[in-house]
Amino acid sequence: MIWLTADKIAGAAEKASVVHRVGDIVEYTYSYASPLGELTLASDGVALTGIWFTRQKYYAATLAEEHEEKLLPIFAETSRWLDLYFAGKEPDFTPALAPKGSVFRKLVWQILLTIPYGQVMTYGEIAKCIAREMGLEKMSAQAVGGAVGHNPISIIIPCHRVVGTNGSLTGYAGGINTKVELLKLEGLDMTQFTVPTKGTAL
């Protein structure tokens, strides 16, 4: 299962609260040492709610103020996924995901999940998909860029696979160098991309 429905998340979280909740703790974290730097994983006790590079922009932006570090089954599963990924393999499963955000952002993140391993999609292409989904004539690529940038589950929801017009590697909360390394890890030919300059179009 890639994405838990609201009903399933609510039901599972209610059951988990009996087992995992301690005082006011409503969210949990776990550290994962990746080849590109330490990652902080977050969970509501059932599904994954965040993966952030320690020094990235919007670090832990959706993490509950009250949280504790604890190894949970979802963290063990996510660590297994990351082990495969950083070994240069495409994982054949996806941990349960429950990213926190607006309806619009979640729609963008759902589209990101459809981008195949080793391939990229432009902000403009995502904007067209969103426009179709919402029954609109067009959608702003800049609005899509904002949603992509605020993706709370790095790597698994692959915002690093989104590029600007003409292959510009514009925008990545974890930093352009990290984005380059992730794309190289997936076997992409980096000569087709350009490093962004100020004002590069999405």
Give the active site residues.
159
145: left (phi over 0), alpha (psi -120 to 50) or beta: alpha
> What does the DSSP 8-state code read for residue 116?
P
User: Alpha carbon 202 to chain centroid distance?
Assistant: 19
Candidates 96, 86, 104, 85; CA nearest to 146 is 104
Q: How far apart are CA 164 and CA 196, in angstroms?
A: 9
- Kindly list the distances between the CA atom of residue 98 and the CA atoms of 51, 60, 88, 109, 139, in Å, as whole numbers in the listed order: 11, 14, 25, 11, 25
> What does the DSSP 8-state code read for residue 24?
T
DSSP-based helix, strand, coil % in the chain, nearest 5: 40, 15, 45
Contacts of residue 32, defined as CB under 8 A and 6 or more positions apart, other chains included, come to 38, 39, 40, 41, 78, 79, 82
